[in-house]
Amino acid sequence: MIVRARNVDFYYGAFRALTDVTLDFEKRRVTALIGPSGCGKSTLLRLLNRMNDLIDGTRVEGEILFEGRNIYAPEVDPVEIRQRIGMVFQKPNPFPKSIFDNITFAPKLSGIRDRGEIETLVEGSLRQAVLWDEVKDILGKSAMNLSGGQQQRLCIARALAMKPDVLLMDEPTSALDPISTAKIEELIDSLKKRYTIIIVTHNMQQAARVSEYTGFFYLGKLIEFNATEKIFTNPAMKQTEDYITGRFG
Amino acid sequence: MKWRYFRQSLFFGVVRLSALIITIALLGIIAFLLVNGFKAISMDFFTLPPTDSMTKGGIMPAIVGTFYLTVGAIAVSLPLGVVSAIYLTEYAKQGRFIRIMRIGVNCLAGVPSVVFGLFGLGFFVVFLKFGSSILAGSLTLGILVLPTIIGAAEEALKAVPQTFREASLALGVSKWKTISRIVLPSALPGILTGAILGVGRAAGETAPIMFTAAAFFTAILPKSIFDEVMALPYHIYVLATAGTHIEQTRPLQYGTALVLIALVLGIDLIAIVLRSVVRRKKRW
């Protein structure tokens, strides 16, 4: 278990977005978080690398342990946590820089200077994100010229370049066409050999296709957590069954 | 039905007329200056200092002085304004304190420029003993345009998509590096456009430099930032009101005004061109 949430409550001002969530994420597995809009699944995801710190007036209770250490302990630097726990967003968000600079931006700031090392890192990251063959001749071109699907894979490559242990994905394909979506799903499948992946998705088929474990959220509570196969074939809770059979949500 | 149509065309007519009046006023001023001042414009007008008790000669020292004061005002206000805007938009917790600061900045923009002049005289010239100098004048002009620059920089920073900040922070880049390497470069063209427009205003101001920097007459160019300079707006004021040969120097007055307005419009034009180039390049 690489990441564990322990009795997590989360508030936006007076509004309680998560209630008593306890959940373990297994190393080098894909865990999907599903549920209707506003159920708190993205909120939980953003808690795992302290991205909710950016929003004023929020409060966390309980513990989130990363390799046994509470990431909300006062002595923990969120910058360090985010270097180990990368994130890919709903909408592809490359920087308005070249493809090459998108990848090298964060590694350079974290102290990698050697030219050779940087080039290896760029190629390695782009290969892992299955983008290398498409962009190897245009590394100096602006990332903004790429298609949406390519931009999203660039964002994945950019996250991988920091050599994280965990990759958080917040509805990574919801802004993409079916072909790009299929590519990202294949990519997730190949990445799980090396990374722990936690993916929030609205698409239940996607959760069923890519994940080993699935957590179903409803109204800020974790209703059910189990192996994906179990959730989709024989859910224990009535609400889970109603959701995955499309009766609400 | 007819009444409604009439009301609509009446309203559009008023709107059109208002726009027309503004354009005519601007063109009228420029045409008036061109007709009256064009005779004064010659090579000597740009290269010579005033001669014969300022009834002949050129305005070279005033052009140079205005140039120094404008550059000085930018040097003072741009860093200070950008840093303030970064604090207000990126760091400060939005709340009552920030609201009061914003009101303060906006009030500063509404303060009459002569008050800035008096403040500059009291604080920079007398209290800090800078004397009437480029330094004191630049500082005074810098403070004058500070609200404009803060406003422009805040708008430019707010226009940078939140997703850029999130992308950078999520990579484990610190907040300061995110601001300095991602947010600021994206906002820079907008900040510069605002700064240039602000400085265009500073170049044309008379009251703030009158007590802090401007010399009635000096044929020699400044050697340091502690020297007084002539300046275009003040030179016009002097020729038109304080000299003994007011009628005689009319062409020089118009000529100087023409140079000043060309300078300010030129500065504004740079800002407009810069903005349109950036807009075409912008992809988010």
Which pLDDT score, from 0 to 100, does residue B252 have?
Answer: 87
Question: Rounded to whole angstroms, how far apart are CA atoms A53 and A57?
Answer: 9
Give the three-state DSSP class for A65: strand
Report residue B217's pLDDT band, with 50, 70 and 90 as the boundaries: confident
Which residues, in sequence order, are CB contacts of B153 under 8 Å at separation 6+? B81, B82, B84, B85, B86, B187, B190, B191, B194, B195
Instruction: Name the residue facing A109 among B93, B164, B177 (closest C-beta).
Output: B177
DSSP symbol at B171? T
Give the three-state DSSP class for B206: coil
**Structural domain range at position B270:** 60-281
| B42 within domain boundaries | no
Question: Rounded to whole angstroms, how far apart are CA atoms A91 and B162?
Answer: 12
Rounded mean pLDDT, B213-219: 80
Which pLDDT score, from 0 to 100, does residue B284 have?
Answer: 58
| B53 within domain boundaries | no
Which pLDDT score, from 0 to 100, does residue B175 have?
Answer: 94
Nearest chain A Cα to B175, which residue? A79
Question: Rounded to whole angstroms, how far apart are CA atoms B109 and B112?
Answer: 8
- Tell me: pLDDT of B221 over 90: no
Which pLDDT score, from 0 to 100, does residue A225 have?
Answer: 96
Size of the A and B interface in Cβ pairs below 8 Å: 68
Mutate to test the interface with B, among A76, A79, A88 (most CBs of B within 10 A): A79
Please write the tens of the pLDDT for every residue from B160-179.
999 999 999 999 999 999 99
The stretches in chain A having pLDDT less than 50 are none
Nearest chain B Cα to A95, which residue? B164
B236 sits in the region (left: phi over 0; alpha: psi -120 to 50; else beta) called alpha
Which pLDDT score, from 0 to 100, does residue B282 have?
Answer: 64
What mean pLDDT, rounded, does chain B reach? 89
- Tell me: pLDDT of B150 over 90: yes
Please write the tens of the pLDDT for every residue from B196-209.
888 888 888 888 99
- C-alpha distance from residue B3 to each of B6, B9, B10, B17 (Å): 5, 10, 10, 21
- Percent with pLDDT over 70 in chain B: 98
Domain A3-93+166-244 bears CATH identifier 2.60.120.1030: no
- Report yes or no: A58 at the B interface, CB cutoff 8 Å: no
Rounded mean pLDDT, B147-157: 93
Mutate to test the interface with A, among B163, B169, B171 (most CBs of A within 10 A): B171
Residues A32 and A211: beta-carbon distance below 8 Å? yes
| B146 within domain boundaries | yes
* Least Cα separation, residue A218 to chain B (angstroms): 26
* Least Cα separation, residue B197 to chain A (angstroms): 26
- Tell me: pLDDT of B118 over 80: yes
Residue B50 is encoded by which pair of tokens?
């005033």
- Report yes or no: A87 at the B interface, CB cutoff 8 Å: yes
Whether the complex's predicted ipTM is more than 0.90 is answered with: yes
Rounded mean pLDDT, B21-39: 91
Residue B56 is encoded by which pair of tokens?
């002949």
Q: Are the Cβ atoms of A54 and B169 closer than 8 angstroms?
A: yes
Nearest chain A Cα to B187, which residue? A96
Q: Are the Cβ atoms of A54 and B166 closer than 8 angstroms?
A: yes
| B99 within domain boundaries | yes
With CA atoms as reference, report the closest residue to B170 among A30, A54, A8.
Answer: A54
Q: Are the Cβ atoms of B174 and A49 closer than 8 angstroms?
A: no
With CA atoms as reference, report the closest residue to A111 among B163, B165, B174, B180.
Answer: B174
Please write the tens of the pLDDT for every residue from A109-153.
999 999 999 999 999 999 999 999 999 999 999 999 999 999 999
| B205 within domain boundaries | yes
Please write the tens of the pLDDT for every residue from B245-281.
788 888 888 999 999 999 998 888 888 888 888 777 7
Q: ∠ CA B79-B84-B90 to the nearest 5 degrees?
A: 120
Top pLDDT among B191 and B55 is at B191
Binding-face residues of A in 187-226 toward B, CB within 8 A:
none
Top pLDDT among B227 and A4 is at A4
- C-alpha distance from residue B227 to each of A192, B118, B233, B236, B278 (Å): 70, 19, 18, 20, 38
Nearest chain B Cα to A161, which residue? B171
Report residue B83's pLDDT band, with 50, 70 and 90 as the boundaries: very high
| CATH code at position B105 | 1.10.3720.10
Report residue B49's pLDDT band, with 50, 70 and 90 as the boundaries: confident
Q: Are the Cβ atoms of B172 and A83 closer than 8 angstroms?
A: yes
Which pLDDT score, from 0 to 100, does residue B66 have?
Answer: 92
Report residue B1's pLDDT band, with 50, 70 and 90 as the boundaries: low
Question: Rounded to whole angstroms, how far apart are CA atoms B213 and A108?
Answer: 47
Q: How many domains does chain B have?
A: 1
- The neighbouring-strand residues paired with A58 are A12
Which pLDDT score, from 0 to 100, does residue B136 have?
Answer: 95
Please write the tens of the pLDDT for every residue from B61-81.
889 999 999 999 999 999 999
Question: Rounded to whole angstroms, how far apart are CA atoms B164 and A101?
Answer: 14
Instruction: Name the residue facing B169 among A82, A110, A142 (closest C-beta).
Output: A82
